[in-house]
Amino acid sequence: MTARFSLIPGKTRGHRPRLQMLCMTLLIVSILTACSKTSTRADTTRGRELYEFHCAPCHETPPPDLLKEPPQLKGLFNSKALPSGAPATDEQVRMVIVEGLRTMPAFQGRLQEPEIRDLIAYLHKM
Ligand code: HEC
């Protein structure tokens, strides 16, 4: 009777597989939670790297031959509207990055969806 609920592997049949499943599930869940915490921390770090590489060359030190000077992106989400007048939402900024805007080039195919997400996360806190 007691052996049926034993945690020692190999000693029981009965309920053991279910207990093992439970333990495995708990283990997997805790690993996933730990991983997702690390990746949220890494998000803005990677976002910053992507920004420095892809966006800063224009938005921080604009080349003189651009038809229009790119706006500063610091505090982009602090006002309700983007410089163009479009709403300052993640979705709108994502669209500008993917499709470009007039003289700003489209980044479709150069940035992956998760990278764009990290980039936007960084734009929020820069
Ligand atoms: C080749 C230079 C160039 C690069 C590289 C560039 N931008 Fe731009 N960006 C511009 C210009 C120019 C504008 C202004 C466009 C306009 O209003 O005509 C602009 C505008 C914007 C706006 C404002 C959009 C609006 O609706 O007002 C956002 C947001 C933006 N860029 C984000 C980014 C991000 C993020 C990156 C990096 C992935 C990036 N840009 C890379 C030139 C650039």
Whether 4 is covered by a domain: the verdict is no
Inform me whether the pLDDT recorded for 40 exceeds 90: no
Dist. CA 25 → ligand 1 center (Å): 45
In testing the pocket of ligand 1, which one of 48, 50, 58 has its CB within 8 Å of the most ligand atoms?
58
Whether 77 is covered by a domain: the verdict is yes
Whether 34 is covered by a domain: the verdict is no
Inform me whether the pLDDT recorded for 36 exceeds 70: no
Whether 25 is covered by a domain: the verdict is no
Nearest ligand 1 atom to alpha carbon 54: 37
Inform me whether the pLDDT recorded for 110 exceeds 80: yes
Q: Specify the pLDDT at position 67.
A: 86
Whether 118 is covered by a domain: the verdict is yes
Domain count, the chain: 1
In testing the pocket of ligand 1, which one of 52, 101, 103, 113 has its CB within 8 Å of the most ligand atoms?
101
Q: Specify the pLDDT at position 30.
A: 75
| pLDDT tens string 46-75 | 999 999 999 999 999 988 888 899 999 999
Q: Domain range spanning residue 103?
A: 43-64+72-125
Whether 16 is covered by a domain: the verdict is no
pTM: 0.76
Whether 57 is covered by a domain: the verdict is yes
Quick one: which of 123, 125, 7 has its CA closest to 54? 123
What 8-state DSSP symbol labels residue 53? I
Find the CATH number of the domain harbouring 86. 1.10.760.10
Of 63 and 31, more confident: 63
